[in-house]
């Protein structure tokens, strides 16, 4: 997860780091279980990235005009149905 979510450098640390990690992990587990979830065909389904100085990876923006520290270009497709919401 540290490759995608940055919480500060050195002795500094984000106050919401624990909550953010919990939320991202939960969200990825739910999305990852969806039936028929897949990469979009062709170039849209590819993550555009290059290695940068110090071994850090940087990602191209959707229009490929600049770089961004977080991935944003790979598109996915899903044509299933959402599961019903649990009643409290």
pLDDT at 1 over 80: no
Q: Which helix (H) or strand (E) holds 21?
A: helix 17-32
- Asked if 71 contacts 46 with a C-beta cutoff of 8 angstroms, the reply is no
Phi-psi region of 6 (alpha: psi -120 to 50; beta: other; left: phi over 0): beta
pLDDT bucket at 81, cuts 50 / 70 / 90:
confident
Residue 52, in any domain of the structure: yes
Average pLDDT, the chain: 83
* Residue 82 C-alpha from the chain's centroid: 20
From CA 78, how far away is CA 70, in angstroms rounded?
Answer: 22
Q: Is residue 46 part of a domain?
A: yes
The reply to whether 44 falls in a domain is yes
CA-to-CA distance for 17 and 15, rounded, in angstroms?
6
- Residue 22 inside a domain? The answer is no
Please, which pLDDT band fits residue 3 given cuts at 50, 70 and 90? low
Structural domains counted in the chain: 1
> Domain range holding 66?
37-78
pLDDT band at 77 (very low <50, low <70, confident <90, very high): very high
Outline where DSSP puts E strands in 23-72. 37-39, 49-51, 57-60, 67-68
pLDDT 10s digits, 32-64: 888 889 999 998 888 888 888 888 888 888 888
Residue 9, pLDDT above cutoff 70:
no
pTM assigned to the model? 0.55
- Report if residue 3 sits inside a domain: no
Residue 71 lies in a domain: yes
């Amino acid at each position: 997860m540290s490759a995608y979510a940055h919480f500060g450098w050195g002795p500094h640390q984000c106050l919401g780091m624990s909550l953010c990690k919990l939320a991202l992990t939960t969200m990825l587990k739910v999305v990852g279980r969806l039936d028929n979830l897949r990469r979009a065909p062709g170039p849209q389904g590819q993550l555009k990235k290059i290695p940068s100085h110090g071994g850090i990876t940087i990602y191209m923006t959707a229009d490929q005009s600049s770089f961004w520290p977080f991935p944003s270009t790979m598109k996915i497709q899903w044509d299933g149905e959402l599961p019903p919401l649990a009643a409290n």
